[in-house]
């Protein structure tokens, strides 16, 4: 069962700074070696490293940098047969500033051109498996088939009808009401703390049951950095406690979590077990510099989790009776 990842792959240019300057301010940064990353590509590499069959779709130009990015994906076991090309778009780069144990990411604008999937790509997607993507990419998807155009939410509904289970990584951006047609029927919607609050105006995952049921979303996850993660299916709440670690670089931690969770679910694991393993993989990733710090084999994560000490538990509970 293959998992398709639709999103960005980029050259991550790293810098460190003692502080983040404000408006009309100046600052000094130190340059670190650039590394290949990109949020969804990181998740795809993590999924492949765990042994998952992985395909990647993005829209790139035809430059030497793009060819380098594609070669790197291949070297990491990620399939690239469905990548799209547009020579007019900008180079795919991120500027990442490490400041005080956190990171600030600036992404070069590449436009919002439609992503016209090829007929063979649609055929491959119309089969059971997972689809990992963002709202930014979902809005751009198009495909011509049988004399008609399938686009955006309609295309996602078509893939869902063929057994393709969507995992949305909403990260810090969250969602608004207009995004519900895209999220409808999703297997998992992942927020971090910032994205969850931006979407719902609070931090209480027990209060979104009605919203989930209306959109027919199976699971919502809220990642909580060092505090682990929690998930709800609208009736039950599952929590995976975090691990105390010395943070080296948080870049790619959320990508590691998402790629690992997708792999766990594709293997039929319970959501509680998948959440626990994904938190461990993400916690391990922040102890390693670089966007691909989460790349690991299954046994690597198990060994790290066993050595990471405190007793880590996964808790399940029924949500408190609150109105949405």
Tell me how far apart the alpha carbons of residues 273 and 285 are, in angstroms, rounded to a whole number.
19
Q: Which helix (H) or strand (E) holds 154?
A: helix 152-161
Confidence of residue 128 (pLDDT cuts 50, 70, 90): very high
- Percent of the chain residues topping a pLDDT of 70: 95
pLDDT at 292 over 50: yes
**What pLDDT is recorded for position 320?**
43
Asked if residue 74 belongs to a domain, the reply is yes
Output the pTM of the full model.
0.89
Confidence of residue 251 (pLDDT cuts 50, 70, 90): confident
Range of the domain at 138: 3-19+30-317
**What pLDDT is recorded for position 290?**
85
Asked if residue 45 belongs to a domain, the reply is yes
State the CB neighbour count (10 A cutoff) for residue 259.
34
pLDDT tens for 181-210 read 999 999 999 999 999 999 999 999 999 999
Domain count, the chain: 1
Asked if residue 324 belongs to a domain, the reply is no
Tell me how far apart the alpha carbons of residues 208 and 200 are, in angstroms, rounded to a whole number.
8
Q: Which residues pair with 144 in a beta bridge?
A: 149
Asked if residue 25 belongs to a domain, the reply is no
Domain holding 143: CATH number?
A: 3.40.1190.20
Q: Are strands 3-6 and 84-85 parallel, antiparallel or unpaired?
A: unpaired
Asked if residue 261 belongs to a domain, the reply is yes
Asked if residue 322 belongs to a domain, the reply is no
Sole residue written with tokens 């650039």 = 34
Q: Which residues have a Cβ under 8 Å from the Cβ of 154 and sit 6 or more positions away?
A: none
């Amino acid at each position: 069962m293959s998992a398709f990842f639709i999103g960005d792959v980029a050259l991550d240019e790293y810098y460190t700074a003692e502080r983040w300057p404000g408006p009309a301010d100046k600052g000094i940064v130190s340059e670190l070696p650039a590394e290949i990353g990109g949020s969804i590509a990181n998740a795809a590499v993590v999924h492949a490293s765990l042994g998952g069959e992985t395909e990647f779709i993005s829209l790139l130009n035809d430059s030497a940098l793009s060819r380098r990015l594609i070669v790197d994906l291949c070297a990491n076991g990620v399939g690239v047969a469905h990548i799209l090309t547009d020579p007019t778009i900008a180079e795919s780069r991120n500027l990442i500033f490490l400041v005080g144990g956190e990171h600030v990411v600036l992404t070069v604008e590449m436009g919002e051109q439609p992503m016209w999937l090829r007929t063979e790509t649609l055929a491959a997607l119309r089969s059971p498996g997972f689809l990992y993507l963002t709202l930014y990419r979902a809005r751009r998807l198009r495909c011509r088939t049988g004399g008609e155009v399938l686009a955006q939410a309609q295309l996602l509904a078509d893939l869902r009808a063929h057994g393709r289970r969507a995992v949305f990584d909403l990260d810090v951006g969250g969602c608004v009401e207009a995004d519900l047609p895209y999220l409808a029927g999703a297997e998992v919607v992942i927020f971090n703390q910032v994205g969850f609050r931006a979407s719902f105006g609070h931090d209480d995952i027990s209060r979104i049951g009605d919203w989930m049921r209306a959109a027919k979303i199976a699971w919502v996850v809220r990642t909580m950095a060092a505090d682990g993660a929690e998930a709800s299916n609208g009736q039950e709440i599952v929590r995976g406690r975090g691990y105390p670690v010395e943070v080296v670089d948080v870049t790619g931690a959320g990508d590691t979590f998402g790629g690992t969770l997708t792999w766990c679910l594709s293997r039929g694991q319970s959501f509680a077990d998948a959440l626990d393993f994904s938190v461990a993989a993400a916690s391990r990733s922040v102890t390693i510099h670089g966007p691909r710090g989460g790349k690991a084999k299954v046994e690597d994560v198990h060994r790290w989790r066993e050595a990471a000490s405190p007793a880590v538990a996964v808790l399940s509970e029924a949500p408190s009776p609150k109105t949405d």
